Chain A
Amino acid sequence: MSKKERLVAAIQDGTVIDHIPAAKTFQVANLLQLERLSTPVTIGYNFTSNKVGRKGIIKVSNRFFTDAEISHLSVVAPNAVLNIIHDYEVAEKKTVRTPDELRGIVKCNNPKCITNNEPTGTIFHVVDKSEGILRCHYCEKEQHIDQVELCK
């Protein structure tokens, strides 16, 4: 890709998160707690994409995410791709895998659930990965992964 075509500055080492649905870009940044980093982070969105319409891209220098951290993205950007960059080259591509369990990520949509009435974190079991069905560990109400509200 020529310099003119390049969307945002290249990074030497780090992670480029691509194919984020544009509207979810900041949620991805939140889930990965990028605001806590001291390394350079570039957040871009509303780029044209054949895959998701308008997409977001996040470039994070000198930071590599664990599989557990990446799995958190399954609730907002299941089709995101993480390019692991070493010395300006893509050394590895990682996709988002739906985890068996989500801790402290998703809010329970049952107002009578203990997690909405007590200062405690949520736990969800992913009971059907192909359909994206989550079940609250406490009240056992089910919700769809596409319709979740994230914990603040």
Chain B
Amino acid sequence: MEKHNFVDIKSFDKQQLLYLIEMAREFERFPNRELLKGRVIATLFYEPSTRTRLSFETAANRLGARIIGFTDAKVSSVSKGETLKDTILMVSNYADIIVMRHHIEGAAQYAAEVAPVPIVNAGDGAHQHPSQCLLDLYSIAQTQGTLENLDICLVGDLKYGRTVHSLLMAMRHFNPTFHFIAPKELAMPEEYKIFCSQNGIRFEEHHDFTPEIISQADILYMTRVQRERFSDLMEYEQVKNVYILRNDMLTDARENMKILHPLPRVNEIAYDVDENPHAYYIQQAKNGLFARQAIFAHCLGITLDEIQADITIL
């Protein structure tokens, strides 16, 4: 059987992305099944990421799989100097899928090349975090009823934020219009603007975060402006409160507009926004469960038809 990895969102074409979203939708209808009964899923977390790990492990548990793994490289053989290749080959003897989070960039691609079992990239350093991207796409599709022709505002750290870069790449199939709202130091890098131009994606750049810009959005994607990203702390002090979303900024928002955030948030979304019907970030995190169930199905070659005709639903 051909091995299906989930390493990089760019390698999925439009049809494949829509297929994964359709699968996630089925899992949202019936999340508890025994579709993966008898399977073992390994979660290798070389750096801690509680949220992502819990989401993957819940996805596996609710499909009836068992889980092995570690949550900290200190307790694995890495601390004895074992190479990633040896660890991956060893774990491949035990597990049907390996979910890996690593601080080294390109680690997932490398693991996918050496492993006989499918690899799921749960984040490789500052490089990629494709399962986050899939759950973002799923959240957009669920709230808007489509992925096509949407106005998307990306706010905050657009320079280092890998989630916004992945989202931009994945949305290229769906004719979006982007608004990039960021301080100068954290502006969208040139290479992504070139990517937009090459792919016919419309975009505008703004330094001010205003109700007027929000009123043009279908999706408001917030990210955290992190202090450690700034070389000049004076600049951080100046901008840290500029990119905060407050409830009173949402008065003119479109009815269908939803606020997304990869979480955790610090202060970039005021707590009074939580009660606003536009807030969607908590539900978004829940969607991570269904997206990751779809990723497991993809890795094991389970089709949408099989998921729809599943007799193991609990």
Question: Do chains A and B interact in one complex?
Answer: yes
Q: Is A112 an interface residue (CB 8 A)?
A: yes
Q: Is A37 an interface residue (CB 8 A)?
A: no
* A117 B104 Cβ-Cβ under 8 A: yes
Contacts of B110 in A (CB 8 A): 114-115, 118, 120, 138
* A139 B84 Cβ-Cβ under 8 A: no
Contacts of A136 in B (CB 8 A): 106
* A137 B109 Cβ-Cβ under 8 A: yes
A120→B83 CA distance, assembly (Å): 10
Cβ of B127 to closest chain A Cβ, rounded Å = 6
Contacts of B69 in A (CB 8 A): none
Mark each residue of chain B from 50 to 85: 1 if its CB lies under 8 Å from any CB of chain A, else 0.
000000000000000000000000000000000111
How many chain A residues have a CB neighbour from B under 8 Å? 16
Query: B interface, how many residues as a size bin?
Result: 10 to 19
Q: Is B257 an interface residue (CB 8 A)?
A: no
Q: Is B107 an interface residue (CB 8 A)?
A: yes
Contacts of B104 in A (CB 8 A): 112-114, 117-118
Contacts of B191 in A (CB 8 A): 142
Contacts of B105 in A (CB 8 A): 110, 112-114, 138-141
A115→B104 CA distance, assembly (Å): 9
Task: Report A93-152 residues with CB < 8 Å from chain B CB.
Answer: 110, 112-115, 117-120, 136-142
Looking across the interface, which residue of chain B has its beta carbon closest to that of A116?
Answer: B104
Task: Report B91-118 residues with CB < 8 Å from chain A CB.
Answer: 103-107, 109-110
Q: Is B126 an interface residue (CB 8 A)?
A: yes
A27→B167 CA distance, assembly (Å): 42
Contacts of B125 in A (CB 8 A): 112, 139
Known: A114-B106, A114-B107, A114-B110. A139 touches B127 (CB 8 A): yes
A114→B106 CA distance, assembly (Å): 6
A contact face: mostly helix, strand, loop, or mixed: loop
Contacts of A115 in B (CB 8 A): 106, 110
Cβ of A120 to closest chain B Cβ, rounded Å = 7
A139→B107 CA distance, assembly (Å): 8
* B126 A114 Cβ-Cβ under 8 A: no
Cβ of B101 to closest chain A Cβ, rounded Å = 14
Contacts of B109 in A (CB 8 A): 114, 137-138
* A118 B127 Cβ-Cβ under 8 A: no
Contacts of A119 in B (CB 8 A): 83
Contacts of A118 in B (CB 8 A): 83-85, 104, 110
Mark each residue of chain A from 4 to 21: 1 if its CB lies under 8 Å from any CB of chain B, else 0.
000000000000000000
Looking across the interface, which residue of chain A has its beta carbon closest to that of B110?
Answer: A114
Cβ of B192 to closest chain A Cβ, rounded Å = 12
Contacts of A138 in B (CB 8 A): 105-107, 109-110
Cβ of B126 to closest chain A Cβ, rounded Å = 7
A114→B104 CA distance, assembly (Å): 6
* A112 B103 Cβ-Cβ under 8 A: yes
A121→B110 CA distance, assembly (Å): 11
Looking across the interface, which residue of chain A has its beta carbon closest to that of B114?
Answer: A120
Contacts of A142 in B (CB 8 A): 191
Looking across the interface, which residue of chain A has its beta carbon closest to that of B127?
Answer: A139
Cβ of A127 to closest chain B Cβ, rounded Å = 11
A123→B109 CA distance, assembly (Å): 12
Contacts of A141 in B (CB 8 A): 105
Cβ of A133 to closest chain B Cβ, rounded Å = 10
* A interface residue numbers (CB < 8 A to B): 110, 112-115, 117-120, 136-142
The 8 closest A-B pairs by CB, nearest first: A138-B106, A139-B105, A139-B106, A114-B106, A114-B110, A114-B107, A112-B105, A117-B104
Given pairs A114-B84, A140-B106, A142-B191, 19 additional interface contacts (CB within 8 A): A110-B105, A112-B104, A112-B125, A113-B104, A114-B107, A115-B106, A118-B83, A120-B85, A120-B110, A136-B106, A137-B109, A138-B105, A138-B106, A138-B107, A138-B109, A139-B105, A139-B106, A140-B127, A141-B105
Provide a sorted-by-A list of 18 A–B residue pairs whose CB atoms are within 8 angstroms. Answer: A110-B105, A112-B125, A114-B105, A114-B106, A114-B107, A118-B83, A118-B84, A118-B110, A119-B83, A137-B109, A138-B105, A138-B106, A138-B109, A139-B105, A139-B127, A140-B105, A140-B106, A140-B127
